[in-house]
Every structure is written in C-alpha cells, then in structure tokens.
Chain A
Amino acid sequence: MSKIAVKVDDLTVAYNYKPVLWDIDLEIPEGVLMAIVGPNGAGKSTLIKSILGILKPIAGSVSIYGKPYDKQRQKVAYVPQKGSVDWDFPTTALDVVMMGTYGSLGWIKRPGQKEKKAALEALEKVGMLSFKSRQISQLSGGQQQRIFLARALVQNAAIYFMDEPFQGVDASTEIAIINILKALRKAGKTVIVVHHDLQTVPEYFDWVTFLNVKKIATGPVKDIFNDDNLTKTYGINYKVSIQE
C-alpha cells in the first residue's frame, strides 16, 4: 500500500457547541482522486476546513504526511466553495491567481516577476490567459471556477482540496476541470473533491468517502460505491444502481 497523504483521527467539529462532524477517522492514500459525497449539511465543507486548520476541532487530530498541517502548508492547496468570496472585490483574475503564491512567500515578502510568471502559466493551463485583466465579477461562473483552480495550481502542492468545483459551471468547464484533476493525479498528486453529482463519481474518481456527520465508508470506488453505502449516507433507498 502506498503512503498515507492525509490522516484524520477521531475528529469532532462543532459550531457553537453543536457537533456537525462526529468522531471521523479517515486515511487518504497518496495519489488518489477522491470524491467526498454526502447530502447538504453533511459536514463536507467543514471536514475540509478542519483538515486545513481553518476551523479548530473540539477533539481529534489531522496529519498531512505524518505531520501537523501547520508544518505542511506548502504541500496543500485549497479551492473553497464558490460562494465563500466577495466577487465584487476590486481585483483581477491574474491578481487572484497570484494569491496562490502568497503561501510560499510567507509574511511581508511581496510577489515579484517569478510569481507573476507562475500565475500566467497557471492561467494558460486552465485556458483563461486572455481574461487575466478582467475584474473577477465580470467572469462567468465557470470562468471563476477556473481562476480558483489556477490559483490552486500555482501553489504547486502535493495535495489539492476542492469544495464543489463543478457547482454552477457549464459542461465544457466541467470537462476541462476534471481533465486537469486527472492530470494532477497522473503526476502523483492527491486530489480530494467535494462532489455532488453521484452519476459521475465512477467516471471521474477512483476513491470515494461517504460522509454524513459520521464517516459512512471510504475506499476504492469500484469496491464501495454501491447502493448500500448510498442508502446509508442519503437515507433514501437507492434502488436502481447508478453504476453502469
């Protein structure tokens, strides 16, 4: 078995003392393209935010390649859920992508030519180079998502977390994004995606975690993506298998 990229132990997270994630244990092997699935409010975003140290858990711990997140920041990139930023903020596409380089710069040091070049390359990769000077609110939903993806690419991380990257994007952007994610996996990166469309799980991902406040199951899609786990996660009966 390959190395463990992300390990979550007995993680419990609460908002105002109301737990929304209960006692999660999770091991994500290096090099997988993993979907996190579960109904709305299952705690998928919360799980990612806790792994990334954005939220403080009330119990449990998280490690990235065996060390706490604080020590491993440079190894991790994050694409937040689309609604989480202010799209009217006075900034351009290029500027947003440049923000991905801030982590490697640390406090105070400012981005220079090297960072700009990396940002332009990432924009090129997601097919958004011609939009680099566009104010971000003047981009379509799909284009905004590509910008976020470019910002993660520029971080040149080993592990990528994405919260619903396909939300509100058109079919062509979805294909473009999934191709980039598959290329990342090919390059040995670990990619973790909160995903809503159960239909496409077998096609896009090789690993899956079912989550609904507790962890229901985690493992290879071909072994565990079945009606039983779907029913346990979503509560309703999944009569007809949505697998091929």
Chain B
Amino acid sequence: MSSAQIEIQLIASIVAVACAIPGTFLVLRKMAMISDAISHSILPGIVIGFFITHNLNSPLLILFAAFTGIITVVLVEYIQKTNLVKEDTAIGLVFPALFSIGVILIAKNANDVHLDVDAVLLGELAFAPFDRLIINGADVGPKSLWIVGSILLITLTLLITFFKELKVSTFDKGLAASLGFSPAIIHYGLMSVSSVTTVGAFDAVGAILVVALMIAPAATAYLLTTDLKKMLVLAVGFGIFSAIMGYWVAHWLDASIAGSITTILGLVFLMVYLFAPSKGIIAVLYREKQQRIEVSLLTFLLHLKNHDELEERHVKHLNEHINWQKVRSKSVLDLAQKNNMIHIENQIVSLTEKGDAFTSKAIDYIITNRDAQIEDMKDDFFLFRG
C-alpha cells in the first residue's frame, strides 16, 4: 500500500467513527432526516464564510457552516411548532430553501472560484491526500486528516463526558428535565456536534457519504443489540468496516470511493436487516410462524383437556372437526410430542401429565395475564415472550 492509500483509508475510517457517534443518537431520537438537512443547508454558510474570509481553508468556514446547521435545526423546529406540518415536511421545506440559497450565491458571485456543487455533494476522497498541511515548512500530513481527527477527538471527549446525560435525555426527556439535565442544552449540543462533523467531513467525503455514515451504521447496530454502549461500538465497527471495504472495492472496480462506501453501508444494513437474530426480517417471520403453531397447539391441548370422549381425541378428528389442514395438524402433533405433552395410542391422543399441567398454566396466564409463573416457559415458547 502506498502512503496515499493508507491516508485515504485512515481519513475515511476517522470520518466513519466521527459520524457514527452522533449518528447513533440521531437514530435513537428518530432524527435521521435532520442530518440530511444539515448536510445540505450548510452550503450557504460555507459560501458566506468564503465571501468574508476569501479563503477556502479558513477554520472560520467550518464555524460558519456549523452555524447554518444549527439555524436549520432551529428553523425546522420552529415550523414544526406551528403544528401546521409534520417534522419531515418541515425538514423538506427548510433544507432545499437553504441549499438553493447557497447554489444561487455561488452562481452569482463565485463563478471564478473553486466551489462546485458536484464536489460538495459527492466529495472526492481520492484527492484528500494531496491537500497537505504544512507547518513551518514541514509536511505534517493531509489537511483533512487533521480536521476530521480534531473533530473526532472533540466528539469522543464529549461522548465520554456526557454519556449519562445523552442517554437519559434521549430515552426520557421528561425525566432528564426534572433531574436538572436540560434536554435543550443536550439537544443543541448534539446538533452542534452533528453540524461540525458534517462540515468537517464533507470536504473530504461529500455530503451524501456523510449522511450515509451517520445513519446507516447506527441503524444497522440498532437491529443487533439492546445495549446502548454496544450499539455505539457496533456502529463504529460497521462504519470502519464499510469505509475500508468501500475503499478497496472502489480500488478494484476503479469507481468512486464515496459511492463504494455508501454501497457497502447499504449492503451491510441489508444483510443485518434480513438476518439479525431477533429483529431481522427472517427471525420475525419465523417467530410469527412459530407463534401461530403454538396458538394452534394450545387450542389443541385445550380441546384434549375438555374432552374425554375417544372420538373427539382421534387423530383424524384434527383434520375433520377442528378443521385444520394436514400440514398444520402434523406440525402441531410434532411439537406436542417433542415436548412430551401428549402420547398417541391407536390413533387416540391423550394429554400427558406434563401436557395437562402446561395447559392449565397457559390458560391461567392468558386469563389473568400474570407473568411470574410462566417465566420458565418463555425459553421454549415464543408465544409467551411478549
């Protein structure tokens, strides 16, 4: 690997981590869309910052842009508070307006400078290593690396310092407020970090990839864990993985790096969405099917409990009287037998002691909706897992 290749991967990975952290909280706060809005509406901030400083490399530019990001959030909230439109509509109103102001400002005034919309939206990671930071004549590395590195450092420090506050205000705003952790301060703090991260990162990777890196890893991690810390770690992991994989895919296919990373992010999400152990589509479908069978099982067991007559307990009766198809009857019988709840003699089905006890307990649960006594059953049966 050349040093440029290493630098690109390093920048992409750092951006991924810096995005995954605020992204996790945005996803949990159901604010994924706002990152999209921020990433677009910071454009006028950059342009105005450029008019004032006449220097595309000025750190003031980042501040101006981050400030526009905050204005976006405030505007969206203001429109939303009027209760005339929903949040996503408010977002949809604000960011195209701000973005187009930016585009117009560029078209009118900055024709002669290097500020073009394509570069802003897509970025070009491949060029990042060529823009070096020179201090006292010494080359200390790509400028982007320093920018995104500093942002990551700030983000990490804030995360570690205010983890508890972020958690409680995201989970339960009312409690946070009553405990004295101003949810508004935390909210705008998070929005500021998101804005600064977006601005700092998009110079390197473009607006679209910034949004993808904020949302996709967090959304993927959300499907896999029930622990906030693990969710953060997973999101960071998915981000880094996609950044590096994406880089090499782009390398092999000679494609855009940002585009490849976005694609990998999408693929990773898709895989997890399908195959996640408990929240994945396949697991959910399987669980629903199991629950259907279990309801049938219970119906059947109850039938056995209520009927002593032999003809009511004949295997054939399942198909004819309870009106079940063969497949269903068979899976119910199998499940009951596997759990030693019934025994079948001469085609006549009877409850075992265990089956009898199980039926009573289950019925009791369904009637009283009391959980304590069926805790042990939850491991074997989906039906009772809420």
Whether B175 lies near A140 (C-beta < 8 A) is: no
Residues of A contacting B164 in the complex (Cβ-Cβ under 8 angstroms): 102, 105, 108, 110-111
Interface string of B199-235 (1 = CB under 8 A from A): 0000000000000000000000010011110110000
Residues of A contacting B178 in the complex (Cβ-Cβ under 8 angstroms): 52-54, 73, 76, 78, 103
Kindly name the residue among A49, A89, A90, A130 whose own CB sees the greatest number of chain B CB atoms within 10 A. Answer: A90
Whether A91 lies near B227 (C-beta < 8 A) is: yes
Query: Is A84 located at the chain interface by the 8 A CB criterion?
Result: yes
Interface string of A112-141 (1 = CB under 8 A from B): 000000000000000000100001001110
Assess A85 versus B179: contact at CB under 8 Å? Given A16-B82, A91-B226, A172-B370: no
Interface string of B19-57 (1 = CB under 8 A from A): 000000000101000000000000000000000000000
Complex CA–CA separation, A124 to B23 (angstroms): 36
Complex CA–CA separation, A111 to B167 (angstroms): 13
Selected from B81, B163, B168, B180, the residue in CB contact (under 8 A) with A73 is B180
Query: Is A143 located at the chain interface by the 8 A CB criterion?
Result: yes
Whether A92 lies near B227 (C-beta < 8 A) is: yes
Complex CA–CA separation, A170 to B364 (angstroms): 14
Query: Is B177 located at the chain interface by the 8 A CB criterion?
Result: yes
Chain A: CB-nearest residue to B221:
A90
Query: Is B127 located at the chain interface by the 8 A CB criterion?
Result: no
Whether A138 lies near B162 (C-beta < 8 A) is: no
Query: Is B375 located at the chain interface by the 8 A CB criterion?
Result: yes
Selected from A80, A85, A90, A143, the residue in CB contact (under 8 A) with B226 is A90
Complex CA–CA separation, A14 to B202 (angstroms): 41
Query: Is B83 located at the chain interface by the 8 A CB criterion?
Result: yes
Whether A107 lies near B165 (C-beta < 8 A) is: yes
Complex CA–CA separation, A99 to B222 (angstroms): 21
Residues of B contacting A140 in the complex (Cβ-Cβ under 8 angstroms): 369, 371, 386
137-187 of chain B: CB within 8 A of chain A: 161-165, 167-168, 170-175, 177-181
Residues of B contacting A138 in the complex (Cβ-Cβ under 8 angstroms): 385-386
Assess A86 versus B228: contact at CB under 8 Å? Given A52-B177, A130-B375, A138-B386: no
Complex CA–CA separation, A89 to B227 (angstroms): 8
Residues of A contacting B375 in the complex (Cβ-Cβ under 8 angstroms): 130
Query: Is B323 located at the chain interface by the 8 A CB criterion?
Result: no
Whether B227 lies near A90 (C-beta < 8 A) is: yes
Whether B368 lies near A170 (C-beta < 8 A) is: yes
Complex CA–CA separation, A76 to B225 (angstroms): 33
Kindly name the residue among B82, B162, B170, B226 whose own CB sees the greatest number of chain A CB atoms within 10 A. Answer: B226
Whether B179 lies near A102 (C-beta < 8 A) is: yes
Whether B225 lies near A90 (C-beta < 8 A) is: yes
Complex CA–CA separation, A85 to B171 (angstroms): 6
Query: Is A223 located at the chain interface by the 8 A CB criterion?
Result: no
Whether B179 lies near A103 (C-beta < 8 A) is: yes
Chain A: CB-nearest residue to B371:
A140
Query: Is A70 located at the chain interface by the 8 A CB criterion?
Result: yes
Complex CA–CA separation, A162 to B175 (angstroms): 12
Minimum C-beta distance from A239 to chain B (A): 34
Assess A107 versus B168: contact at CB under 8 Å? Given A90-B227, A130-B375, A139-B386: no
Kindly name the residue among A52, A102, A110 whose own CB sees the greatest number of chain B CB atoms within 10 A. Answer: A102
Residues of A contacting B167 in the complex (Cβ-Cβ under 8 angstroms): 91, 99
Complex CA–CA separation, A80 to B170 (angstroms): 15
46-91 of chain B: CB within 8 A of chain A: 81-83
Chain A: CB-nearest residue to B168:
A99
Residues of B contacting A89 in the complex (Cβ-Cβ under 8 angstroms): 28, 170-171, 228
Minimum C-beta distance from B187 to chain A (A): 14
With A92-B226, A103-B178 already in contact, 8 other A-B pairs whose C-beta atoms are closer than 8 Å: A70-B180, A84-B172, A90-B225, A91-B167, A91-B228, A106-B180, A108-B162, A140-B386
Q: List 18 A-B contacts (CB under 8 A).
A: A52-B174, A53-B177, A73-B178, A80-B175, A84-B173, A85-B171, A85-B172, A86-B28, A89-B171, A89-B228, A90-B228, A91-B167, A91-B227, A110-B163, A110-B164, A130-B375, A138-B386, A140-B386
Closest 7 CB pairs of A and B: A103-B179, A135-B226, A54-B177, A52-B178, A80-B174, A78-B178, A85-B172
